[in-house]
Structure 1
Amino acid sequence: MNKTFALCASVLAVSLLGACASSNPDVVRRSDAQRMSTVIDATVLSVRPVTVDGNQSGAGAVTGGVIGAVAGSSVGGRREGQIVGVLGAVAGAVVGNAIERNATREDAVEILVQLRNGERRSVIQGKGQENFLAGDPVILTTTGGKTRVSRAPVVSQPAHAPSN
């Protein structure tokens, strides 16, 4: 029974941790919806793959520690169960921390762009659905201090009215 509980709790913890953080440009936080953003035109200079390191918030260690303690305490008699429970808690915390870090690690890209005024900027964001190449026109959208890069929309020239 305790082993089944520990397994279910582990699966739940990993699922929740994996959904905690993302730098994916296709995912927008609820708090950023319906907010005015600053948009700047730019051109891609280069793109390189990078890895965004995972989080270590402590949630994985706590979850792993509790699961390890519960699983360990079911071993043997009362005294053995207490000793193995403590060891299980320590081992579970270490494993839970590693699971959290690996579950929140993310493949990303660093995009170096040049603004129209000649300044250069670098933005690191998770891999989204858009792929960028040097020379691509893009826009930098900044909301709440966070910037994402996306392909610039095609803008058609307005029709000129005949002058009289």
Structure 2
Amino acid sequence: MHARLPAYAVALAALTVAASLPGCASSTAGNVYSRAETRQAQVVKYGTVEAIQPVRIEGSRTHIGTVTGAVLGGLAGSTVGGGTGQKAAVVAGAVAGGVAGQAAEERLTRADGLELTVRLENGNVMAIVQEQSAQSFQVGQRVRVIQHNGTYRVSP
């Protein structure tokens, strides 16, 4: 005998997973550091902002959204019919849920960003893209360009 999940249980599970997806993304804002970046020496250079261009940072496509969507889709499919029809509904639900979960993850983790073009004191020019944050920048503003292990950030 196969027990079916009530529709409200499937809906509750879907809402719980959807609410947790934005928490999976890490920020790429200039004023956000990962735990691993703390207590590390960083190179600081000074420069002047020459240009600011708004950009869109694409969302992540990890397996979290795909797997979560597939599980939820399969669970939803298990509530349909019985026998062979139910098995087909589980498979179809898992495939559709996986596709929808991947799309949802990408959409939920997109971010607005800035491409900051900075002329360093040594004359070199750099363009650095970082997620938009509460920090504000203006053309002509003196800024710090902070570098550590190939990661650059601009800070007022």
The verdict on a shared fold, with TM-score over 0.5 as the criterion, is yes
1:22 positional shift: 1.7
Structure 2 counterpart of 1:122: 127
Which protein has the larger Cα radius of gyration, Structure 1 or Structure 2? 1
TM-score, length-scaled by structure 2: 0.90
* AA at the equivalent of 1:150: S
CA contact (8 A) 1:42 1:139 kept: yes
Q: Distance in 2 between matches of 1:101 and 1:59?
A: 11
Q: Distance in 2 between matches of 1:77 and 1:85?
A: 10
Gaps of 5+ in 1: 152-164
1:32 aligns with 2:37: yes
Q: 1:96 aligns with which of 98, 101, 105?
A: 101
1:2 positional shift: 4.2
Q: 1:45 aligns with which of 47, 50, 73?
A: 50
1:15 aligns with 2:19: yes
- Structure 1 residues 15 and 119 mapped into 2: Cα distance closer, same or farther (>3 Å)? same
Gaps of 5+ in 2: none
Structure 2 counterpart of 1:141: 146
* AA at the equivalent of 2:17: A
SS class of match (1:131) = coil
Q: Distance in 2 between matches of 1:2 and 1:50?
A: 44
Q: 1:5 aligns with which of 9, 18, 29?
A: 9
How many positions carry a matched residue from both structures? 151
1:73 positional shift: 1.2
CA contact (8 A) 1:52 1:106 kept: yes
* AA at the equivalent of 2:52: V
Q: Distance in 1 between matches of 2:92 and 2:154?
A: 47
TM-score, length-scaled by structure 1: 0.86
Q: Distance in 2 between matches of 1:43 and 1:13?
A: 43
Q: CA RMSD in A?
A: 1.4
Deviation readout 1:45-88 (Å, 9 max, x if unpaired): 01010011011112111110111011101111222211111110
* AA at the equivalent of 2:71: V
- Structure 1 residues 98 and 2 mapped into 2: Cα distance closer, same or farther (>3 Å)? farther
Q: Distance in 1 between matches of 2:132 and 2:88?
A: 46
**Runs ≥4 residues deviating over 6 A:** none
